[in-house]
Amino acid sequence: MAITTNAIILQRPPSDSSEFSLSMYSADLSDAESLLAAKTGSCHFVQKITIFCASAITISIGSGETTPGTIDAIYLGPLPFTATSSQYVIDFGSKAMVIPKSTAFTIDSSGAGPTAILVEGRTGPAF
């Protein structure tokens, strides 16, 4: 069986970055959605992600959407969910998952299903 490697870059957010937190809900993420828009010249540093879902779907988290409906780079997933309520909490501690400079933080699912997403992090200059 083949293994797919998702390359996650972790680093400490810069001290001059600004905090963000977002809470979003969707009944259907299957066409890829932007959780946090690209900010020219800056990176998003994602420190904690909580995802709740009550459908038997998979969810992927990554960056960019050059081709509409498709994530450019998947960092987490596809994460499997069940038809009964399930959740993932991903906490990178003092470090953060880096979304590249001038790129949106995106999410996609294999189908429709009620999904809530909570994200905490920082946005700031790239190193």
For 59-103, how does the pLDDT look when each residue is reduced to its tens digit (9 = 90+)? Answer: 999 999 999 989 999 999 999 999 887 999 999 999 999 999 999
Q: Please compute the mean of the pLDDT values over residues 4-28 and round it to a whole number.
A: 91
Residue 118: which region, alpha, beta or left (left: phi > 0; alpha: psi -120 to 50)? beta
DSSP-assigned letter for residue 6: P
Label residue 112 by pLDDT band (50, 70, 90). Answer: very high
* pLDDT at 1 > cutoff 70: no
For 41-52, how does the pLDDT look when each residue is reduced to its tens digit (9 = 90+)? Answer: 999 999 999 999
Please choose, from the candidates 10, 39, 20, the residue with its C-alpha nearest in 3D space to the C-alpha of residue 121. Answer: 20
Domain ranges for the chain: 29-125
